[in-house]
Structure 1
Amino acid sequence: MNEATVSCDTTRLSNQSTIYWQYNCDRIWLTLENKKKEKFVIDSVPPELYGYTYRLGYHLIKEFDSGLLFRSGCPANGPCIYTLINKYNGKVLDEFNQLICIEKSSNDSKYNFNFIVYFSANQSYLIINYLDKNKRLKIPFQEKLTAAVPEQQFDKMILDQYILTLQYYSDNGTPKALKINLADF
């Protein structure tokens, strides 16, 4: 397992907490250790699946002031699961089946936005979630996307000043753009 696909390096967070993977013969687990030296196991993978930890286990996408966004549970041909974790106590804050433009938002593979974007349950709204502000914006979305994973029809997310542009393709392949003035909210 020393040559497995997860890093055994410790990641230090802005609040002086750390996260790190460990393993033994019984399991592989991701630990959050806060500055009080309290330890919380926030993810685990059976050792027989160690070769799939890069798809199944938690991978840090973004550190927010109050939480951590992880990607996990990625099947070979479908969407991943995204989980927000409280970075002080390891508790799950929220979980999402798929986020919009999470993989396509920048060229340097880091998620540089201070919010996440996803569909409401019935896809009639886009939700912009500002975790650190404890604020969610609901933007009406009229077009019905019918792909198996509609979030994957979004191609790019650009923030210029206060204008958020979501570029996507309609079901017939027509490129479209939704512009949202975040200063209005």
Structure 2
Amino acid sequence: MFKTDLIEDCKKGKRKAQLKLYNKYCDAMLRIAMRYLKQQDLAEDAVQEAFIKAFKHIDSFSGDVTFGAWLKRIVINQSIDYCRQLKYYDPIDENKLEMIDEERNSWEVEDQLTTADVENCIENLPENYATVLKLYLMEGYDHEEIGEILNIKANNSRILLHRGKNELKKHLKTLKHERFA
């Protein structure tokens, strides 16, 4: 059965179609939720809630993007909502805003460092930095989209990205010196 047929059947309230879509996307969505929540049980809860919301509002799915992309956004928003509820997310003080020149900082890291090293370092950053880095680097959202997701200004997203990037560089340099000294 094609995805469009499954989606149409879901819009009609057919449980078998919902189960098929769930089975098709649940593992990928769980991996996404784990990036933000870091605990299996919380991530599973967030994914379940996201699927409930998705099926409840499936009529709003227009097909402008793939179903997976639409669902991914719901999962990310649900995961971030869970973080906020658990007080993991600490927004920056908007009175201390400053303009950041993103082009002056490069994203280059040492060749010896792996993707896993970078991901582990991101996990050790303060949650507000880690969240913006994940949304920007891993999910591919721009600052306006990140602002909408986190309910902050796009400029705040830029600042958090800049600060997160600087913290990440410090962690990566420390890791490099520990490992390759």
TM-score (norm 1): 0.28
Bigger RCO (CA 8 Å, 6+ sep): 2
TM-score (norm 2): 0.28
Tell me which protein shows more helix as a share of its residues.
2
Tell me which protein shows more strand as a share of its residues.
1
